[in-house]
Amino acid sequence: MNNKNEQSDDYRSLLLLDEISKGTELTQRDLSRKLNVALGLVNSYVKNLVSKGYITVSTIPRKRYKYYLTPSGFAEKTRLTYQHLQNFTNLYRVARRDFSLLFNKIEKSDLKEVVFCGVDEVAEIAFLSLKETDLKLTGVVDGAKKGTDFFGHTVLPLEEINNIGYGIIVVTSFQGGEALKARLIELGVAEAKICDISAGGWLKKVEV
């Protein structure tokens, strides 16, 4: 497994351990929806965490499950949290630079309106960079975060993308960029109108 995949696996494991540590009754479908991770992947990660002794599972009525963190699981959550903070420092530095370059390039073109697709750490970094330009954020879309607030913008479902005015869409998700881009294309958005962010390439440069 290469370093990029290891980082992605560690981050998803951290999200799962963090959600499980809250002590609520959950199905794997609940975890899939909360974390915006495919159901099959959730199943794989849960089995992996159980095999490593980080979580235990008990069945409760209505075919739901109660997940518990073991002492080893709490220790692993602490380790992954510290590791994630270190990774985020690197993410912030690189993404901040690349977003500034991208938005400066867009600002020099005839495009003035931007939509963000995806809400996570990367989206917050993108917003900081956007505020240093005269570009206008006209909307934010993310199926998993719809209805939440993002710096004064109500996050809309992806299906609303064609009802929002924009010159370019920036995919602002560290983990789910490829899936979001594919969904935008399914909804009829021209690929040339999408700037893609990915864990592997940080910022894939596109001609605007």
pLDDT at 196: 67
At 68-84, the pLDDT tens digits run 889 999 899 888 887 77
pLDDT class of 142 with cuts at 50, 70, 90: very high
Q: Which helix (H) or strand (E) holds 90?
A: helix 71-107
- Give the least confident one: 108-117, 149-158, 188-197: 188-197
pLDDT at 7: 63
- Averaged over 157-182, what is the pLDDT? 88
Residue 60: CA atoms inside 13 Å, Cβ hemisphere, count?
Answer: 10
pLDDT at 5: 56
One fold for 3-69 and 91-203: no
- Give the least confident one: 22-26, 125-129, 156-160, 199-203: 199-203
> Under CATH, domain 91-203 is a member of which superfamily?
NAD(P)-binding Rossmann-like Domain (3.40.50.720)
Instruction: Give the integer Cα–Cα distance in Å for 18 and 53.
Output: 16
- With b meaning 16 or more CB within 10 Å and e meaning fewer, what string describes 70-107? eeebeebbeebeeebeebeeebeeebeebbbebbeebe
Q: What residue spans define the domains of the chain?
A: 3-69, 91-203
pLDDT of 202 above 50: no
pLDDT class of 207 with cuts at 50, 70, 90: very low
pLDDT class of 93 with cuts at 50, 70, 90: confident
CATH, domain range 3-69: 1.10.10.10
High-pLDDT (> 70) share of the chain, % = 86
